Structure 1
Amino acid sequence: MGGQHARASEDPAAGVYREAAALGAAAYAILLQIAEPGVGRGVRDHSDFAQRPVDRLRGTLVFVYALMFGTGAEAERVAGTVRRVHRHVVGPDYSAQDPELQVWVAATLYACNMHVHELVFGPMAPADKDAVYTASSVFATSLGCPRERWPATRADFERYWTEAVASIRVDDTARAVAGDLFHPANPAVRALVRVQRFLASGLLPAHVRDGFGLEWGPRHQRRFDRLVTVVRAVYPRLPTAVRTLPRDFYLRDMRRRFARADAGRRSGPPPPASGT
C-alpha cells in the first residue's frame, strides 16, 4: 500500500490524525489506558462509561482534533478544560496529574493511531514517523506533563512502549471498567460497541486481550484478517472529504459550542425580576 498515505498540507501528523480509520482504535486505546492501574482506578471513580460512551468518545476526539487541527486558542481552551477536570481526578493511590499516567495515556493515543494507520495504509517512511511522533508529544505536554518526561526520540519511545506493554497485568478494576464500556446503558450504541470490542480484541497483544477475558480464536482471527484486507483495499480510495468526516464534524461541533458559550457570557446574567 506504499504511496497511498494520507497527507494534509504535507504534514505527516495531520495525515494520520485526520483519518476516520483512527476511530477503529478507540476501544483498543481505552483498554490499554485502563490496564494501567492508576488510570483504571481514576476512570472507575470519576467516569461513567456505561451511561455516556459516545460523550466520552467525543471528548477524546475533540481533544485530539483541537490539538492537531485547531487554532492555538482552540487547542489551549480544550486542553485547559481537560486540565481543570483532571485536577479533581485524585484518589488514595492515583492522580490524573501524575506525569507517568499522562505519558501513558498520550502514548496510547499515538501508538494505537499509528498501528491502525499503518495497518490500513502500509508502513510510513521513517522521517514521517519521526514527525508524527514529535507532534504527538502535545497529548502529554498540553496537560502539564513536563516535556522531558516524553521519550526524547521515537527509538526511546519504542523501548518504553515495548517494556510498558509487556509489563501489563490486567486487574479486576480494569476488567470492571471494560465491562461497563462493553455494556452501555443506551441500546442505540450497543451495535457500535460490539464492533469496537471485536476490533480491540484483534488489535490488542494476546496477553492483554486474555487479561480482559476477550474471546479470541482462529475463527475470530480469520474474520479480522478478512476485514483488514477489505479495509486496505477500499478505504484509501475513498474521497478525502469522506475519510475526514469525523474530524470535520467534531471541529464544527466544538466551534459551535464555543460560540454558544461565548455568546452566553457576553449577554450576562438575566435582569433581576421586578418587585411585587
Structure 2
Amino acid sequence: MMKKTLCLAFLSMMATSALAEPTLTKGKISFAADFAAAPNQFIRTDGQKDGLNVDMCGEIGKRLGQEVEWTNLAFPGLVPGLQAKRFDSLCTAIFINPDRLKIMNMVAYVQWGEGLMVPKGNPGGISCEGKIGVPASYNACFDGLAGKVVSVAAGGTTNKNLQAQSDRMVAAGKKAIDIRAFDSNSEAIQAAVTKQVDAAYLNDPQAAYYISTSKAPFDMAFTGNAANRLAITTLKDNTELANMIVKALEAMRADGTYNKIVEKWGVAPVDAFVLNPQ
C-alpha cells in the first residue's frame, strides 16, 4: 500500500478532493506495454525505452510521486497479465471497447484511426472516400482486399475490425480477406516488408512512423478508419488508481505537458479524460 503521506502530498499538489489509496508497491507504479509498437512505445537502438506512452505514463508516475517500472510483453498477454496482478496498469496501444470495459477501468487519453499500408504506388488500386466516424465509407477500400493476404497484430481492435470487414464481404458473396495475425505490429509490418502479405492493417501513427523513419517503399492506401480512443487501464478493483491517473492527466493538460506529448508523437488529443466511457 502507498503510504498515507504520499497520497496526501499528491492531493495537495493536485488540489483535488480526497481519494482512497491505490494498491501499489511502496514507492513504485508498474506499467506494462508491448514495446514492439512504435511510436506508441519501443526500444531505441541504444536500448532505452521511448515513445508516446513512455512519455505519457512516465509523467503520470512522476506526478504520483512514484518510480515507474515497465514490463515488456506481447499484446495478447497484456490483459491476462493485468488480471494476474503482475503490474498495476496497462499503458500501451489498447482501444476502448465494451468487452474490455467489463474487466478493466479504462481512462481515455488519446485517439487515432486505422489504415492500410501497401507497397509504394498502391499497385492493388485500393481506394475509397473514407471519412472518419463513418465506418461504411471505408467499405470500398476493404472490398478491394477480397482474396488478398493482409497482416495485423493479433488480439487488438485492428484485428477485430479487419475480421468484421472480411465477414461483411463474405456475407455479400465476396471472397474473404486472408488475415494473418501476428503477435506484434512490428511482426505485421515485417511480413509486409518481406512480401509474405499483400498489405498490413495498422494504427495510423504506427504505419506513418514506420514509413517516415525507415524510408521503406510503402504508402498508405487509406487512413482514419474507426476513430479509436486509447486507454490507460487498471483492474476494476483499483478504481482509486484510475481516478488518480485522471487527475494527473488533467494537471498535465492544465500546464501544457499533455499537449506537448501528443504533438510530439503525432496523435490526436481527447476533449476529456473520461473514466470508463461508454
TM bracket, shorter-chain basis: under 0.3
More helix by share: 1
TM-score (normalised: structure 2): 0.26
Structure number having the greater strand percentage? 2
Q: TM-score, normalised by structure 1?
A: 0.26
